[in-house]
């Protein structure tokens, strides 16, 4: 309890602490001429009240040790405040509780805002709470509306980019544009899923002619639709035995799809890694497939008006038709490159680890060229020759964890490569040819890798004419040639990249 006392005469008592300030707005100099102000902390008896003294104010104080408390501490405790509470039983018949006003009169709370009286609003924390609540209630819709606006602007920009590209080159692309409803009808409501990749799901469908098709439904693009533009711009106008055929496409707002010829034998990935396949490919057929893939990449690099860099050659992206003819697919990362110019920008490297050339992620290597595809093909070739992943942490022998190093040592020491029981001498030559060609392709320095026309010659020629290259070692001090490419610290796809693709049609 804190009691403020006003006295006419000075008081000398430990129960009375002089305030040293004024009450009722009077200055201390005037107080000394009129009456003196004291404060008592802890409570006092009626007999302790001195003559000519009167009680001015009383208030509760949240303090237990109040003996010998100086006025400065008393002021601090008073400024800190106190909590006033009472039991609900004091509210009597009030249904929602009650409060006491300045005149100590009880008022019931009626479950509405009517209980907020001027007395209650004197509490600043209540006002702050009300303002914060109002800010949240009325501000949230505006924040949500702003986020929706930004999201729509970003996606509309992507839609505009795709639509502008399609309208500009509508007469130059010999492919069919389908509506989304037609795509849905062809797939029977996306009933049969063939596979799933980094850019979306692939479903089996049927064209009006009755032939089967593979329809890739693209997912949400992080590159403003550039993956869609890349595929349409590259394989939309080229024809080659070893490149998958684009039949048509769909572009309706955020819904995009690509329609390809159906490949009944799926991907090469299933035949060289899976042990459960009923059909096992012979070494002659694997060699034939590797040569077909090499011809396809050679065509992309040299057979078009502009070089097409695939950037994602791997077994999963090599499809096989009913005759096991290989078809290069998935051009979502592909880039067009002028024959005698450098690209101004490339997207951030997004190929598959294990097949990506070192220049795609080592900043010390300055330029990216078609030799990146050569490296990826080399890794593919070695996996075909070993019928296993190049990196296998579960290999029985620790020396065989990284297949390229192990097989290099085998050939270097003139040891036979294990390709299964009952293999013929001709099959051994085929595997050794594929291994040496693959090791040539995966040299760390792009300067030391052959072009794809040389790879074709190696696979078609005699094994005796091939020389084993050094074991691939990364030397970051060597700088590769600037055949076509830009710094591997690649920027995001810019509008200039779209212009480059568009120029391929002009």
CA 441 to chain centre: 32
Q: Rounded CA gap, 337 and 112, in Å?
A: 71
pLDDT at residue 433, rounded to an integer: 95
Beta strands in 42-188 (DSSP E): 53-59, 98-100, 106-108, 176-178
User: Phi/psi of residue 101, each to 5°?
Assistant: -90, -175
- Tell me: pLDDT of 285 over 80: yes
At the topology level, CATH places domain 264-506 in: Transferase(Phosphotransferase); domain 1 (1.10.510)
**Mean pLDDT across 431-460:** 95
Q: Taking the domains of the chain in order of start, what are their residue ranges?
A: 2-80, 123-262, 264-506
- pLDDT digits over 150-205, tens only? 555 555 455 667 677 676 666 556 688 899 999 999 999 999 999 887 678 999 99
Beta strands in 23-109 (DSSP E): 36-41, 53-59, 98-100, 106-108
Question: Are 115 and 109 within 8 A, CB to CB?
Answer: yes
Which member of 227, 312, 330, 373 is catalytic?
312
In angstroms and rounded to an integer, the radius of gyration of the C-alpha atoms of the chain is 41
Q: Mark 334-354 as b/e (b = at least 16 C-beta within 10 Å).
A: bbbbeeeeebebbbebbbbee
pLDDT at residue 273, rounded to an integer: 83
- Tell me: pLDDT of 491 over 50: no
Task: Between 175 and 381, name the one with better pLDDT.
Answer: 381
Judge whether 433 is annotated as a binding position: no
CA distances from 69 to 40, 266, 364, 392 (A): 10, 89, 73, 79
Residue 398 pLDDT class (50, 70, 90 cuts): confident
Q: Rounded CA gap, 260 and 329, in Å?
A: 9
Residue 147 pLDDT class (50, 70, 90 cuts): low
Q: Do domains 123-262 and 264-506 have the same CATH topology?
A: no
- Tell me: pLDDT of 116 over 80: no
pLDDT at residue 283, rounded to an integer: 93
pLDDT at residue 240, rounded to an integer: 94
pLDDT at residue 163, rounded to an integer: 73
CA distances from 251 to 157, 447, 502 (A): 14, 41, 18
Question: Are 256 and 155 within 8 A, CB to CB?
Answer: no
Q: What is the mean pLDDT of the chain?
A: 77
Residue 489 pLDDT class (50, 70, 90 cuts): very low
**Mean pLDDT across 74-89:** 61
Question: Are 361 and 382 within 8 A, CB to CB?
Answer: no
- Tell me: pLDDT of 321 over 80: yes
User: Which pair of tokens denotes residue 379?
Assistant: 């890794």
Task: Between 114 and 340, name the one with better pLDDT.
Answer: 340
pLDDT at residue 126, rounded to an integer: 56
pLDDT at residue 320, rounded to an integer: 96
Task: Between 13 and 505, name the one with better pLDDT.
Answer: 13
The closest alpha carbon to 431, from 275, 286, 315, belongs to: 286
**Mean pLDDT across 435-451:** 94
DSSP state of 416: P
Residue 83 pLDDT class (50, 70, 90 cuts): low
Residue 328 pLDDT class (50, 70, 90 cuts): very high
Question: Are 492 and 347 within 8 A, CB to CB?
Answer: yes
Q: Rounded CA gap, 506 and 504, in Å?
A: 6
Residue 112 pLDDT class (50, 70, 90 cuts): very low
User: In CATH terms, is domain 123-262 a member of 1.10.10.10?
Assistant: no
pLDDT at residue 480, rounded to an integer: 46
- Tell me: pLDDT of 25 over 50: no
**Mean pLDDT across 135-150:** 63
Task: Between 109 and 153, name the one with better pLDDT.
Answer: 109
**Mean pLDDT across 207-232:** 81
**Mean pLDDT across 16-38:** 61
Active site includes 312?
yes
- Tell me: pLDDT of 482 over 50: no
């Amino acid at each position: 309890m804190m009691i403020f006392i006003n006295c006419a005469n000075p008081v000398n008592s430990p129960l009375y602490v002089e305030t040293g300030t004024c009450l009722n707005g009077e200055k201390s100099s005037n107080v000394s001429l009129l009456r003196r102000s004291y404060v008592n902390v802890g409570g006092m008896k009626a007999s302790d009240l001195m003559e000519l003294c009167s009680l001015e104010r009383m208030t509760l104080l949240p303090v237990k040790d109040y003996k010998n408390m100086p006025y400065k501490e008393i002021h601090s405790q008073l400024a800190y405040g106190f909590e006033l509470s009472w039991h609900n039983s004091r509210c009597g018949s009030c249904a929602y509780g009650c409060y006491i006003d300045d005149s100590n009169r009880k008022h019931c709370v009626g479950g509405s805002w009517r209980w907020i009286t001027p007395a209650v609003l004197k509490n600043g924390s209540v006002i702050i709470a009300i303002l914060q609540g109002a800010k949240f209630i009325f501000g949230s819709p505006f924040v949500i509306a702003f986020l929706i606006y930004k999201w729509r602007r970003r996606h509309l920009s992507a839609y505009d980019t795709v639509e502008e590209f399609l309208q500009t080159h509508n007469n130059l692309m010999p492919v069919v544009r389908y509506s989304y409803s037609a795509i849905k009808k062809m797939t029977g409501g996306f009933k049969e899923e063939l596979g799933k990749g980094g850019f979306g799901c692939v479903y089996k469908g049927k064209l009006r002619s009755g032939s089967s098709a593979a329809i890739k439904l693209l997912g949400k693009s992080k590159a403003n639709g550039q993956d869609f533009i890349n595929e349409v711009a590259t394989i939309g106008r080229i024809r080659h035995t070893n490149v998958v055929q684009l039949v048509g496409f769909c572009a309706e707002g955020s819904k995009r799809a690509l329609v390809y010829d159906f490949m009944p034998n799926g991907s090469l990935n299933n035949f060289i890694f899976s042990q459960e396949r009923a059909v096992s490919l012979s070494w002659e057929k694997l060699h034939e497939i590797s040569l077909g893939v090499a011809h396809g990449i050679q065509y992309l690099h040299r057979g078009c008006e502009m070089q097409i860099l695939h950037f994602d050659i791997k077994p999963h992206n090599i499809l096989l038709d009913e005759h096991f003819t290989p078809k290069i697919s998935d051009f979502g990362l592909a880039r067009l490159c002028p024959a005698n110019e450098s690209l101004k920008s490339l997207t951030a490297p997004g190929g598959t680890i294990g097949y990506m050339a070192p220049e795609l992620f080592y900043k010390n290597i300055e330029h990216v060229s078609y030799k990146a595809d050569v490296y990826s093909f080399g890794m593919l070739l070695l996996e075909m020759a070993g019928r296993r992943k190049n990196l296998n942490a579960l290999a029985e022998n620790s020396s065989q964890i990284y297949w390229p190093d192990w097989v290099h040592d085998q050939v270097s020491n003139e040891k036979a490569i294990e390709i299964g029981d009952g293999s013929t001498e001709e099959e051994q030559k085929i595997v050794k040819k594929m291994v040496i060609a693959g090791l040539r392709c995966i040299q760390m320095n792009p300067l030391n890798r052959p072009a794809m026309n040389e790879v074709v010659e190696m696979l078609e020629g005699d094994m005796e004419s091939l020389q084993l290259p050094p074991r691939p070692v990364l030397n970051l001090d060597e700088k590769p040639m600037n055949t076509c490419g830009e710094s591997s610290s690649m920027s995001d796809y810019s509008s200039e990249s779209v212009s480059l693709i568009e120029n391929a049609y002009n």
